[in-house]
Amino acid sequence: MSVLFTPAGIAAIQSDPNYAELPDWVSNRTPDNDVFHNSVRYHFLSGKHYLPTTQLTPGRTVYGTNNNFSIIRYSEVLLMHAEALVSGATSAVMSADEAVNEVRGRANLDPISGVILDDVLDEKFAEFGMEWGTRFYDLVRHDRTEELNYEGRNYNPNEHRFLPYPLEQLDILPQLREHMQQ
């Protein structure tokens, strides 16, 4: 399951007359019987990192305690390699074209040639579209933040480049508060 729906998300889709009738699998209930309720922060969630409650380790109920390990996918390694190459790095292992086309080939897409940074960033956007933060950091890293401006909200690198520190961390390390004021 790659997309998890909330009732509000389903209603948003159905508000378009072309999608008033949805397949049975569009539900806020997963095959494992987990239910996703409405949230003020989202209508849809990525299912890539969803851990069904049936797979949780008993006794681990605090946020993050079932996050046993992180995985980096081979496609991410390939696209980081391609990004480094189009940004000036060199490699005898594989060209940027080969790296991008290996990812595209897995998805049965036609190969491209003469890969430039725009191609790599577009491929990363498609590959990691539901993974929070990947596109944001790509745009910030390459000073292409105009895409982050929408509906009257504007990205300001002095205010938005880093996420705010949690209050608990500010209380533990007052130096962070000083850093934020710079």
Give the bridge partners for 5, in sequence order: 44
In the chain, % of residues over pLDDT 70 = 85
Residue 109, pLDDT score:
94
Residue 77, pLDDT score:
95
Residue 160, pLDDT score:
66
CA distance linking residue 3 with residue 12, whole number of Å = 14
Residue 180, pLDDT score:
63
CA distance linking residue 22 with residue 100, whole number of Å = 35
CA distance linking residue 97 with residue 93, whole number of Å = 12
Residues 53 and 32: beta-carbon distance below 8 Å: yes
Residue 88, pLDDT score:
95
Q: What is the pTM of this model?
A: 0.60
What's the average pLDDT block by block, 10 residues per block, for the chain (182 residues)? 86 94 90 87 79 78 67 90 97 97 95 97 88 81 88 81 71 73 60
In the chain, % of residues over pLDDT 90 = 42
CA distance linking residue 79 with residue 120, whole number of Å = 7
Residue 72, pLDDT score:
82
Q: Are strands 3-5 and 44-46 parallel, antiparallel or unpaired?
A: antiparallel
